[in-house]
Structure 1
Amino acid sequence: MNTDASRYPHASKRTTLYARSGMVAASQHLAAQAGLDMLKKGGNAVDAAVATAACLTVVEPCSNGIGGDAFALVWMKDQLHGLNASGPAPMGISAAKLRAQGLTEMPVYGWTPVTVPGAPAAWAALSERFGRLPFDELLEPAIRYAEEGYAVSPTASKFWKKAFYEYEQAIEGEQYATWFKTFAPGGRPPEPGEIWASPGHADTLRRIARSQARDFYEGELADRIDAFSREHGGYLRKSDLAAFQPEWVTPISSRYRDCEVWELPPNGQGIVTLMSLNILKALGEPPDDPAAACHQRIEAMKLAFEDGLWAITDPAQMPEETVSHLLSEAWATEKAARIGEQALLPEMRSVPRGGTVYLATADGEGNMVSYIQSNYMEFGSGLVVPETGVGLHNRGHTFTLDEGHPNCLAPGKRTYHTIIPGFLSQDGQPIGPFGVMGAFMQPQGHLQVLLHTLEEGLNPQAALDAPRWRWEKDRQVLIEPEFPAELAEALRARGHELVVSEHAGLFGRGQIIWRDPKSGVLCGGTDPRTDGVLATW
């Protein structure tokens, strides 16, 4: 792979930026700057990632929060490390219990889909193992913005409003009152440029900073979460929080062209990206015709989801051979044989939607972080623990109540998880982190930006700018308004049911940082579908 971005074809709305001493790519400028400040203080890429992640819970609360989960891929000391900080279902809940209450599927809002939040533990684990600066220093920017307030950015305001109007229609009752009080003061969401602050959020971050996050799981914050849950018939308890520890895992990969594409193993869905790449490899050299190539990519993604959505769940409850089988040449060859000239109808019929933040960091020493965290579905469950600013996620919504399904809800079980960080390497050397947030769009976004890079040779910014497609269900594929009309018509002729969507949030928002192994120069891009920025040094 040629990492000299100056040699790539340019087709982007914005210019790819270069830096040597450090780079932070995030979906909100204040958060990116917070990470860069840590690099300038002598911190490394991990310090920058933690500071940026904590800050994003304040400046982009419509997509993530303290009460969500997190995953990370960390290149440090010539090795790639994986962190899974997704929390399990409470020990007091079960599919049988919910079915006895008359439920046939997991609800979206309220206490039932709330699982143990993993984000605070992820920050502490990353800092403890790889960080250079004191942990409490990393959270200072986030605390300051929460306490003093900041001007809300345009894209965040748009998604904030969308969530507010949805919540107005979907949730009611005393347990949701704190959400409206916290995120819609005065009875409405903030406008772009309007100052928003959350003193409770600031206090919570201080407690997390002082205790290396243990207060959230074992201290007063845990007591408040427990009490709020008991008050409204929830299942989450302090004992569930206290038992949680993030897990360091071995990343998985597939070779494509002359690069290794890295993802985290299940319970994340990163394997779906690798499966789709393997199917494309099994098809042989990609066709020169853009329509034929795009057709194959869509079909490969459908087939990867077909098995992925069935098999992926808590790895402790998956057969040992599942991952190796799904990444095997035999599996890819079998799937590739089903791809013909016309769009196929997959055996599973649709994918849900949601919301997340992704960030990437790199320092001047060659360390790099691919990091993602989420509350799922904008603000998550609609629950905010009183006086804490902690909005709890609804990650358990992805569980099924079908006892015959591998991802059936069970006590202490981790669900199929949508948020995935990606990483690229070549010949044992890091190229860098990449990611595209957006629930089940994420493997689709990963596939598209990777192929724009590895097949079309686009620079990071152009790879992110390129119009995207999103397989939705059956033969239906959403496309952005900028999607080439001639290509769209050719895909329709192949049986794809294309629908133009103006909703940019459906197509994900990504970040990329590539590093030239010879010079160490960094080049990066940030998605035009968000308020993203590259903070460079």
Structure 2
Amino acid sequence: MSLLEFDAGVFHYPSRRELVYGKKGMVASSHPLASQAGLDILKKGGNAIDAAIAAAAAITIVEPGSNGIGGDSFSILWKDGEIHGLNASGHSPKNMTREAVMEKGEKIETHGIDPITVPGVPAGWVTLNQAHGKLSLEEVLEPAAKIAEEGFPVSNTVSNAWKRTFKILDKKRKDFPELETWFDVFAPNGRPLEPGEIWSSKGHARTLRLIAKTKGEAFYNGEIAEEIDQLSKKYNGFIRKEDLKDYQPEWITPISTTYKGYDIWEMPPNGQGIIALMALSILENIELKGKDDPETIHKQIEAIKLAFSDGQATISDLKHMEETVDRLLSKPYANSRAQLVSQEAKAAKPGLKDYSGTIYLAAADEEGNMISYIQSNYMGFGSGVVVPEYGVSLQNRACGFTMEEEHPNVIGPEKKPFHTIIPGFISKDEQAVGPFGIMGGQMQPQAHLQVISSMVDFHLNPQDALDAPRWHWDEGNKISIESVMPLNIVEDLIRRGHEVTIVPGKGLFGRGQIILRDEMGVLVGATEPRADGHISTW
């Protein structure tokens, strides 16, 4: 049965949306203005890659509590019948040694000047555009620059993210004076923005146009780099303009596993996408009953726990990993791990050795090109440090390192940390099926597993797969469950030894997008009810 042949009506969860169909192009993102910016570029003659860049640039403005120019990105592209991956995540500064960090404290701080790593987003846009785009970068980034310059009304979702960050940083601003840069830019009236208020940022618009005009040179080896350098020196941070000057994204082949006839693709480490692939490989060896059967959910949870235990022990910058990707993804190893899944909840241990704000979007065009794209600042607005005149929030990805001296992901200079953000892609018989992704920290591989299983094992359509109630493995036997999960499932999981917390609200469980293409070339799009998700198509 094809992934595009749905068991309509068998599983239909309450949804605000139906599937969206299109022919010439489609952009799915977590904000209507971002999706529209991407569609505008498609209509101007751009391709899916141009559209994704336009949407990604726009969403740095309209959803600043989830991502920004000062963050990182990963992309999986299907272009001209081939799959490509771009790792545009930044490395740590040259002087960020474990010893230098230890001199300041026992851990890397989550906010402030210290956890800032080199931003990869602008270089990622430039590289994607130059290698695979059709329009100039100036054309592609201009819709976002206009939104930043003219302003837009803030939504409930965006306002709530603003308020969360305001509370967090307000408690820390006395100890971290550099956080005042965030308040100057994002709370100039001394408070976060309310829904419906107009937000604009002339500095953000200026930065986008400088990046476009100079092909990123202004950011990495020009006036913006100089400002980042001076800001870091002022507050005794690690990052310097030399770190920015040397940065280049990496083209890299995505990794995959087969799952019941489909090839599921993720980016290799330093991202955590391999955890989703390991969990799916384990699950492939386990009989699953109905979609809403408590035993199915129990087995999915146990599979993700086993995969996380190995991933957290081994994932780091690919150059520093001791275990190979092939070993982690081998089918015999997955089968051996599957044998550990029983009827009861178990705390998983690594089988190999003993040893936490994101946006996701997808785009497709009538030429057959498709892209799965994700970018993030981490923990909402990132470090809380902003380059004032340019509106750039700098990320705090050094928090992804560990201080354990013998761990492959130990903090160190010019090294990429364990990364949470992961784009996904599906193919079958060497043909593209389509991009998918669900943003949200540690939730991401867990949601990848749940959504792929829903579509492949139980033939849910993409929208129903995104709408379905989700679970989140926290640690040990602790799991969080969406409040809409049926009570009989919750009770069964408790009997099996899971320590269940029912969580109201939507923030913990991720926000996703899916675009699939059928054999006739028709595009099928689904978006997330847990966000301001929107699909623009024509």
**TM-score for both structures, normalised by structure 1:** 0.96
Partner of 1:525: 526
State the one-letter code of the partner of 1:390: V
State the one-letter code of the partner of 2:382: G
User: Which moved further from structure 2: 1-10 or 401-410?
Assistant: 1-10
SS of residue matched to 1:387? helix
Give 2:401's match in structure 1, choosing from 399, 402, 425.
Answer: 399
Deviation at 1:5, TM superposition (A): 5.7
Deviation at 1:301, TM superposition (A): 0.3
Alpha-carbon distance in 2 for matches of 1:385, 1:534: 32
User: Which moved further from structure 2: 375-384 or 333-342?
Assistant: 333-342
Alpha-carbon distance in 2 for matches of 1:503, 1:423: 28
Q: Deviations over 1:212-262 (max 9, x none)?
A: 112100111101111111111011011100100000000110001111000
Alpha-carbon distance in 2 for matches of 1:490, 1:439: 27
Provide closer, same or farther for how the CA distance between residues 423 and 8 of structure 1 changes in structure 2, counting only shifts above 3 A.
Answer: farther
Q: Does 1:318 align with 2:321?
A: yes
Q: What are the residue-to-residue correspondences of 1:251-266 with 2, within 5 Å?
A: 251-266=254-269
Alpha-carbon distance in 2 for matches of 1:322, 1:330: 15
Partner of 1:92: 95
Q: Does 1:434 align with 2:436?
A: yes
Alpha-carbon distance in 2 for matches of 1:301, 1:105: 28
- Asked whether the equivalents of residues 171 and 382 of structure 1 are also in contact (C-alpha less than 8 Å), the reply is no
- Asked whether the equivalents of residues 113 and 178 of structure 2 are also in contact (C-alpha less than 8 Å), the reply is no
- Asked whether the equivalents of residues 343 and 494 of structure 1 are also in contact (C-alpha less than 8 Å), the reply is yes
SS of residue matched to 1:240? helix
Partner of 1:139: 141
Q: Deviations over 1:168-210 (max 9, x none)?
A: 1133343111201111121111111110111111111111010
Alpha-carbon distance in 2 for matches of 1:334, 1:214: 50
Equivalenced residues, count = 528
Q: Deviations over 1:419-449 (max 9, x none)?
A: 0000001111101000000011000011111
Alpha-carbon distance in 2 for matches of 1:142, 1:498: 42
State the one-letter code of the partner of 1:145: I
Deviation at 1:165, TM superposition (A): 1.2
Alpha-carbon distance in 2 for matches of 1:340, 1:364: 47
**RMSD of aligned alpha carbons:** 1.3
- Asked whether the equivalents of residues 356 and 375 of structure 1 are also in contact (C-alpha less than 8 Å), the reply is yes
User: Which moved further from structure 2: 82-91 or 452-461?
Assistant: 452-461
SS of residue matched to 1:439? coil
Q: Does 1:197 align with 2:221?
A: no
Provide closer, same or farther for how the CA distance between residues 474 and 4 of structure 1 changes in structure 2, counting only shifts above 3 A.
Answer: closer
State the one-letter code of the partner of 1:361: A
Partner of 1:81: 84
Q: Does 1:228 align with 2:204?
A: no
Deviation at 1:98, TM superposition (A): 1.6
- Asked whether the equivalents of residues 474 and 480 of structure 2 are also in contact (C-alpha less than 8 Å), the reply is yes
User: Which moved further from structure 2: 402-411 or 287-296?
Assistant: 287-296
Alpha-carbon distance in 1 for matches of 2:362, 2:264: 16
Q: Does 1:24 align with 2:19?
A: no
Alpha-carbon distance in 2 for matches of 1:164, 1:260: 42
State the one-letter code of the partner of 1:268: G
Partner of 1:368: 370
Alpha-carbon distance in 1 for matches of 2:172, 2:509: 24
Q: Does 1:249 align with 2:252?
A: yes
- Asked whether the equivalents of residues 479 and 498 of structure 2 are also in contact (C-alpha less than 8 Å), the reply is yes
User: Which moved further from structure 2: 46-55 or 103-112?
Assistant: 103-112
Alpha-carbon distance in 1 for matches of 2:8, 2:273: 27
- Asked whether the equivalents of residues 88 and 415 of structure 1 are also in contact (C-alpha less than 8 Å), the reply is yes
Give 2:170's match in structure 1, choosing from 143, 168, 171.
Answer: 168
User: Which moved further from structure 2: 385-394 or 172-181?
Assistant: 172-181
SS of residue matched to 1:43? coil
**TM-score for both structures, normalised by structure 2:** 0.96
Alpha-carbon distance in 2 for matches of 1:145, 1:249: 33
Alpha-carbon distance in 2 for matches of 1:281, 1:452: 13
Deviation at 1:287, TM superposition (A): 3.4
Q: Moved runs in structure 1, 4+ residues, more than 4 A?
A: none
- Asked whether the equivalents of residues 109 and 171 of structure 1 are also in contact (C-alpha less than 8 Å), the reply is no
Partner of 1:239: 242
Q: Does 1:46 align with 2:45?
A: no
Partner of 2:494: 492
Alpha-carbon distance in 2 for matches of 1:157, 1:453: 33
- Asked whether the equivalents of residues 5 and 523 of structure 1 are also in contact (C-alpha less than 8 Å), the reply is no
State the one-letter code of the partner of 1:293: T
- Asked whether the equivalents of residues 435 and 514 of structure 2 are also in contact (C-alpha less than 8 Å), the reply is yes
Alpha-carbon distance in 2 for matches of 1:361, 1:329: 32
Alpha-carbon distance in 2 for matches of 1:75, 1:94: 38
Alpha-carbon distance in 1 for matches of 2:537, 2:172: 42
Alpha-carbon distance in 1 for matches of 2:294, 2:254: 33
Partner of 1:331: 333
Partner of 1:2: 2
Alpha-carbon distance in 2 for matches of 1:110, 1:347: 34
Q: Does 1:62 align with 2:98?
A: no
Q: Deviations over 1:468-501 (max 9, x none)?
A: 0000011111011101111111111111111111
Alpha-carbon distance in 2 for matches of 1:100, 1:227: 22
Alpha-carbon distance in 2 for matches of 1:183, 1:32: 23
- Asked whether the equivalents of residues 371 and 421 of structure 1 are also in contact (C-alpha less than 8 Å), the reply is yes
Provide closer, same or farther for how the CA distance between residues 322 and 4 of structure 1 changes in structure 2, counting only shifts above 3 A.
Answer: closer
Deviation at 1:6, TM superposition (A): 6.3
State the one-letter code of the partner of 1:272: I
Unaligned runs of 5+ in 2: 351-355
Deviation at 1:346, TM superposition (A): 2.3
Deviation at 1:70, TM superposition (A): 0.2
User: Which moved further from structure 2: 171-180 or 397-406?
Assistant: 171-180
State the one-letter code of the partner of 2:179: Y
Give 1:482's match in structure 2, choosing from 478, 484, 487.
Answer: 484
State the one-letter code of the partner of 1:301: I
- Asked whether the equivalents of residues 173 and 180 of structure 2 are also in contact (C-alpha less than 8 Å), the reply is no
State the one-letter code of the partner of 2:158: A
Deviation at 1:339, TM superposition (A): 1.2
State the one-letter code of the partner of 2:452: L
Partner of 1:309: 312
Partner of 1:153: 155
Identity %: 51
